[in-house]
């Protein structure tokens, strides 16, 4: 299989049904994407697939052939991802850090879809688990990103 990850093409030898998470971590050695539950519950393994956050622990590799996959390693190459990382640093969001790759990916996906989410939209979208309880800091960071985003083209509220 050929997978497009972080702007590069990789020939991978894993079985077609292997979850993308293990291809990324074990075969390709990109360990920024984390394993939490393996059951699509926690979001630690989130990556962007064509700009949408997906839980790579339950995503067969074959299902993302031909799609653009972005992992935390390249999130700052994305303009929105770069803003998210900066906000995370400013708000000092991470505690142990384990869940934070997935949190940053989830925030990037939200803000790519909706540049100025309301607090309700932030709460609805930011559902990844954090054992350290960084939820308030995450909310504050995304809220600030929403408040400082450029208005959508044509003055339409996103």
Residues engaged in binding ligand FES (CB under 6 A): 35-38, 40-45, 55, 57, 94-100, 130-132, 134
- To ligand FES, the closest distance from the beta carbon of 78 in angstroms equals 21
Of 41 and 113, which has the nearer Cβ to ligand FES?
41
Of 31 and 95, which has the nearer Cβ to ligand FES?
95
- To ligand FES, the closest distance from the beta carbon of 122 in angstroms equals 17
Helix H or strand E encompassing 4: strand 2-5
Helix H or strand E encompassing 11: strand 8-11
* CA dist 102 → 45, 83, 150 (Å): 6, 15, 25
DSSP sequence for 29-78? --TTSPPS-SSSSS-TTEEEETTEEEEGGG-BGGGGTTSEEE-GGGGGGS
- To ligand FES, the closest distance from the beta carbon of 151 in angstroms equals 32
For the chain, counts of helices (H) and of strands (E): 5, 5
Of 40 and 124, which has the nearer Cβ to ligand FES?
40
- To ligand FES, the closest distance from the beta carbon of 46 in angstroms equals 7
Of 12 and 57, which has the nearer Cβ to ligand FES?
57
């Amino acid at each position: 299989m050929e997978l497009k990850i972080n702007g590069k093409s990789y020939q991978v030898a894993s079985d077609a049904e292997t979850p993308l998470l293990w291809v990324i971590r074990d075969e390709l050695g990109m360990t920024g994407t984390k394993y939490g539950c393996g059951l699509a519950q926690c979001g630690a393994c989130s990556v962007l697939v064509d700009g949408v956050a997906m839980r790579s622990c339950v995503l067969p590799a074959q299902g993302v052939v031909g799609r653009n996959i972005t992992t935390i390693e390249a999130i700052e190459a994305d303009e929105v991802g770069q803003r998210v990382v900066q906000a995370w640093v400013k708000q000092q969001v991470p505690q142990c850090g384990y869940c934070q790759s997935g949190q940053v990916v989830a925030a990037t996906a939200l803000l790519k879809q909706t540049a100025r989410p309301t607090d309700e939209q932030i709460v609805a979208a930011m559902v990844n688990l954090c054992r350290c309880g960084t939820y308030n800091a995450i909310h504050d960071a995304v809220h600030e990103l929403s408040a400082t985003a450029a208005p959508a083209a044509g003055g339409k509220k996103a």
